[in-house]
Chain A
Amino acid sequence: MLFSRQWLGRYVELPDDVDDLCQRLTAAGFNVEHVRRVGDDLQLDLEITTNRSDAMNHLGLARELAVVYDSGLLPPEVDTTGCDRPLDGCEISVDDLGDCPRYAARVVRGVTVGPSPDWLVERLESIGQRSINNIVDVTNFVLWETGQPLHAFDLATLAGPAIRVRRARDGESLTTLDGEERELDAEILVIADAERAVALAGIMGGLDTEVGRGTSDVLIESAHFELQRVRRGANRLGMSTDASFRFERGTDPELCLWAATRAAELMAEVAGGEIAPGAADVRDAAVDWRPHGRLDRASLCRFAGVEIPADEIERILDGLGYELTRDAASETDDAWSVRVPSWRYYDCEAWRPTEKPVEKTGDPPGDATPGGGAPRVWEADLYEEVMRHVGFDAIPADLPALGAPDAGSSASHLLRERIRDHLSACGLAEAIDFAFHDADADASLPPLAALVEAPSSLDEAGDGDGSGGEVVRLANPLSEKYALMRRSLLPGLVASALFNQRRGAEVVRLFEVGHLFAAGRPEVEAVGLVCGGVSPLPWNAARRWDFFAVKGVVEDLARRFGVELAFRPADLTGLLPGTAAEILVADGERVVGLLGRLDSDETTFPLFVAELATAALERDGEAVQVEAPSKYPGIEADATLTHPEEVAWRAIADAIEAAEVEDLEAYGLKDRYTGSGVPQGAVNTTIFFRYNAQDRSLTQEEINQRHLALVDELEARFGLDTEGDA
Chain B
Amino acid sequence: MAEHLERFERQASEIDDRAAWEELRLAWVGKKQGLLKDLLGRITEVPPEERRDFGQAVNRLKETVESRLDELDRELAAAEEAARRAEAAVDVTLPGRDPGLGSIHPTNLVVREIVEIFTGLGYSVADGPEIESDYLNFTALNFPPGHPARDEQDTFFVEDGRVLRTHTSPVQIRTLRDRRPPIRVICPGRTYRVDNDLRHSPMFHQVECLAVAEGLTFGHLKGTLEAFIHRLFTEDTGVRLRPSYFPFTEPSAEVDITCPFCRGDGCPTCSGTGWMEILGSGMVDPRVLAEQGIDPDVYSGYAFGMGTDRVAMIKYGIPNIRQLFDNDERLLRQVRG
Contact = CB atoms under 8 A, between A and B. Distances in A.
Interface stretch (A74-82, A312-320, A500-508, A601-609): A500-508
A476 interface: yes
Contacts of B184: 402, 405-406
A425 B100 CA distance: 8
B254 interface: yes
A49 B203 contact: no
Nearest to A541: B97
A515 B130 CA distance: 8
Contacts of A473: 158-159
B232 interface: no
A482 B195 CA distance: 12
Interface stretch (A165-173, A408-416, A578-586): A408-416
B327 A432 contact: yes
15 contacts: A29-B243, A231-B146, A356-B292, A357-B293, A362-B297, A366-B290, A379-B286, A387-B251, A406-B183, A408-B124, A426-B102, A427-B102, A429-B102, A430-B104, A478-B202
Contacts of A433: 325, 327
Nearest to B285: A380
Interface string A363-376: 01110000000000
Interface in A464-517: 472-478, 482, 485, 496, 499-500, 503, 505, 508-511, 514-515, 517
B332 A430 contact: yes
Contact of B245 (A52, A354, A432): A52
Interface in B181-238: 182-184, 188, 190, 192, 194, 196, 201-203, 211, 213, 215-220, 222-227
Interface in B310-337: 324-330, 332-333
Nearest to B253: A392
Contact of B295 (A305, A359, A413, A421): A359
A477 B156 contact: yes
A388 B243 contact: yes
Contacts of A119: none
Interface stretch (A94-102, A336-344, A393-401): A393-401
Interface string A613-651: 000000000000000000000000000000000000000
A303 B217 contact: yes
A324 B25 CA distance: 117
Contacts of A49: 244-245
A51 interface: yes
Contacts of A519: 160
A413 B95 CA distance: 37
B222 A397 contact: yes
A362 B295 CA distance: 11
Contacts of A27: 242-243
Interface in B246-297: 250-254, 283, 285-288, 290-297
B contacts with A: majority SS: mixed
A306 B220 CA distance: 11
Nearest to A424: B102
B329 A508 contact: yes
Contacts of B55: none
A430 B108 contact: yes
A175 interface: no
Contact of A476 (B135, B179, B194): B194
Interface of A is mostly: loop
Given A383-B250, A514-B190, 16 more contacts: A49-B244, A50-B152, A51-B149, A249-B148, A303-B283, A353-B140, A353-B288, A357-B293, A379-B286, A400-B211, A417-B112, A424-B102, A424-B103, A432-B107, A435-B192, A472-B159
Contacts of B201: 434
Contacts of B166: none
A28 B158 contact: no
Interface of B: 95, 97-105, 107-108, 112, 115, 119, 121-131, 135, 139-142, 144, 146-149, 152, 156-160, 164, 179, 182-184, 188, 190, 192, 194, 196, 201-203, 211, 213, 215-220, 222-227, 240-245, 250-254, 283, 285-288, 290-298, 300, 324-330, 332-333
Contacts of B121: 402
Contacts, number: 302
A693 interface: no
A82 B252 CA distance: 44
A358 B296 CA distance: 9
A311 to B, nearest CB: 21
A409 B254 CA distance: 28
A304 interface: yes
B217 A305 contact: yes
B285 to A, nearest CB: 7
Interface in A233-267: 248-249
B244 A402 contact: no
Contact of A406 (B124, B131, B220, B245): B124
Nearest to B205: A432
A378 to B, nearest CB: 5
A398 B103 contact: no
Contacts of A51: 149, 245
Given A51-B245, A248-B148, A395 B140 contact: no
B329 to A, nearest CB: 5
Nearest to B297: A360
A396 B217 CA distance: 10
Given A304-B218, A505-B329, A360 B295 contact: yes
Contacts of A459: 128-129, 131
B156 A500 contact: no
Given A28-B243, A434-B325, A539 B95 contact: yes
B327 A302 contact: no
A380 B286 CA distance: 7
Contacts of B146: 227-228, 231-232
B232 to A, nearest CB: 16
A508 B148 CA distance: 46
B157 A475 contact: yes
Given A50-B245, A378-B286, A475-B159, A407 B179 contact: yes
A359 B293 contact: yes
A357 B149 CA distance: 26
B219 A510 contact: no
Nearest to A365: B286
B134 to A, nearest CB: 11
Nearest to A30: B243
A216 B312 CA distance: 64
A431 interface: yes
Contacts of B245: 29, 49-52
A461 interface: yes
Interface in A526-541: 535, 537, 539-541
A399 B148 CA distance: 35
Contacts of A543: 100
Interface in A434-465: 434-436, 458-459, 461
B124 A482 contact: no
A303 B300 CA distance: 8
The 3 closest A-B pairs by CB, nearest first: A305-B219, A29-B243, A49-B245
A476 B193 CA distance: 11
